[in-house]
Structure 1
Amino acid sequence: MKILVLQGSARKKGHTATLTQAFVEGAKEAGHEVTVMNVANMDIHGCTGCEYCHTEGGGQCIQDDDMQQIYPLYDSADMIVIASPIYYGSFSGQMHCAIHRTYAIGKPASCKKMAMILDSGSSGVYAASERIYHGFLQGWYGVEDCGIFEYAGSSASSSQNLDELRQFGKSL
């Protein structure tokens, strides 16, 4: 299975990156092809709502930035995993830009499954991201919900949590 992970934290050794890596290790061990795109460190602009993609663009965004690297991966992935820290009650700004820009291609052609990995400095702050995931991403795409993994506080990347994500990756 081809798995695309959109990782939305700019902190290369932070909890989100560490949690994502544990999932990737498990998925690769199970024989899956995994690509991680660190959207927080890419040049991805927000959607301008210009509708070029749905008029003369034919599914191509008019903006020429790093999102062009993600589009073919997004469209060909069998599974998409969103991994993001929670800032001010939702995904990181960089993750929002990447998600919004998928508007250009619509539903990914090959995606059958989705999952989400979230972490925050405190618990109880995941509702907005859960709504986006269930209503738009997983719901509109009509794919299997493989789960939302939420971790909070300084123990977010504890060995127990990392093990849980490794096992999840292996179970796919």
Structure 2
Amino acid sequence: MVLSKFAGAAEDFNEDEALLVDPTRPDEIAAAISKAAHMPLEERVKRWRSMMDKLESYTIHHWSADYVRELDKSRVTVPADQYHHLGLGWTNEAQMPLYRNYAEALATYNEIDPADVALKEAAYADEKKAYEALEARLMHTQGRLWDLPIPTASLSGRPEQEPGARED
């Protein structure tokens, strides 16, 4: 097999199995194809068997378990009493530093004696500022996920044209 060394599958196959090439270098591709075409049958079978052993041992069950395991790594548990602040109750890895800032500000606010009004107000301002930074990021994420353009139809039932667009 001639395989781009930038393809995801290149991580799974080594030089003893696939002929790895830089797809931006035609001379490398040509040399690999020539090598494959002139490779002795015994070597081709050995390389093929090695690749097939890997492919057969890594089933869809292994792949899905790995996928779920990686997905779990990005999960963030939000305390139940904070759920109402975060709307959806989750953040992703890009939002983690913002969530940590918010959680620290909230913990500081909660630790202050309610009798110390001035300090409590200052801590609340910090907590609110940290929350607003996180909220903006959450709204941005929600907007990208849910605010999808909805095609509109004219009275004829055909989608409306953008202003200035030609009808073909």
Shorter-chain TM range is: under 0.3
TM-score by structure 1 length?
0.20
Structure possessing the higher relative contact order (Cα contacts under 8 Å, 6 or more residues apart): 1
TM-score by structure 2 length?
0.21
